[in-house]
Amino acid sequence: MMEGSISQLLNLSTLQLHTIPILTDIPMLALVFLFAVVASLSYIPGLGPYVSLFHTLIHETGHATMARLTGGRVRSISLFSNTEGVAQTSHTSWVGQVLTALAGYPFASLLSVLFIYALSAGFSAHAAAVLALLLLANLFLWVRNLIGWLWVLSVIGLLLVFYVYANPFYFELTLTVLSLILLIQAWVSAWVIFSLSVKRKQRAGDATILAEYTRVPAVLWGSFFFIQASFFFLIGTALFFGVEVAWMVDQLRNWGDG
């Protein structure tokens, strides 16, 4: 009974794995090991806060971007050594306030999947260009504290060194690691906010802010952040291990038809 249900939900006979081109010849066990190593980077003393700030910057960029799209202003983005960040924005409407507060977690999750998809589809140059634009835009337009400036400059410098002097394999591997860091941290941070929205709703970050704006309980916003992050995490992980988008779309259609 269970085997029949699984086979109906997932047509594994049509599944073909096509991972990121530079990882094509790497055994699956090695890919799992790489994924686990990247997941552990954020917990290494000294290195952890440095790599975690990548997610923080992208998260705050999501707030800033939505503020601009809804007619608001971005006063500054600040990054801190404890991996926290703040985007200071002003708005002309309540809708702009809500959408700006909402945007951080989905933006980071979605962008992580887009990066991994671009790398798996052979568009590493495009992914690198988008990353460069994000870093430069933040450096010149939004980041306004010393730690933020030093962090962004150091990342730009490291990427330039890898791009100019390293073998293309290692540059693409660096992009892959950054994409995985963003994917994993987007999920972990959403879990943290969800947990806080349950236990300490007055200190649940964006969920608390949205509750103040909308009168919708923080736990519901925390649940939304975690559900969307989990959805994108599953897609991004599947893409990293070589599951094609077309196959995933076919499975969703099968579930809908069933």
Using one digit for the tens of pLDDT, what is the confidence trace for 206-219?
Answer: 999 999 999 999 99
Give the residue ranges of DSSP H helices in 42-145.
47-69, 94-120, 124-137
Q: How many domains does the chain have?
A: 1
* Residues near 180 by beta carbon (within 8 Å), at least 6 away in sequence: 34, 35, 38, 39, 116, 240
Quick check: is 104 in a domain? yes
* CB contact at 8 A, 131 and 61: no
Quick check: is 2 in a domain? no
Quick check: is 117 in a domain? yes
Pairwise CA distance, residues 129 & 114, whole Å: 13
Residue with tokens 């794995």: 17
- Which one, of 162, 165, 34, 59, lies nearest residue 110 by Cα? 59
Q: What is the pLDDT of residue 6?
A: 39
Pairwise CA distance, residues 109 & 206, whole Å: 15
Quick check: is 19 in a domain? no
Pairwise CA distance, residues 176 & 187, whole Å: 17
Alpha-carbon 39 to chain mean position: 13
Quick check: is 8 in a domain? no
Reading the chain (258 residues) residue by residue, the pLDDT tens digits are: 334 443 444 454 444 455 566 677 677 888 889 999 999 998 999 899 999 999 999 999 999 999 999 999 999 999 999 999 999 999 989 999 999 999 999 999 999 999 999 998 889 999 999 999 999 999 999 999 999 999 999 999 999 999 998 888 889 999 999 999 999 999 999 999 999 999 888 888 999 999 999 999 999 999 999 999 999 999 999 888 877 755 555 655 666 565
Q: What is the pLDDT of residue 28?
A: 80
Q: What is the pLDDT of residue 27?
A: 78
CA 34-62-190 angle, to 5 degrees, is 55
Quick check: is 257 in a domain? no
Alpha-carbon 57 to chain mean position: 10
Residue 76: strand pairing partners: 88
Return the half-sphere exposure (C-beta side, CA atoms, 13 A cut-off) of residue 208: 13
Pairwise CA distance, residues 207 & 104, whole Å: 11
CA 213-215-220 angle, to 5 degrees, is 100
Q: What is the pLDDT of residue 90?
A: 93
Pairwise CA distance, residues 2 & 169, whole Å: 43
DSSP 14: G
Q: H or E segment at 231?
A: helix 218-240
Using one digit for the tens of pLDDT, what is the confidence trace for 222-243?
Answer: 999 999 999 999 999 988 887 7
| Strand ranges, E, within the chain | 73-79, 85-90
- Domain range for 180 is 26-249
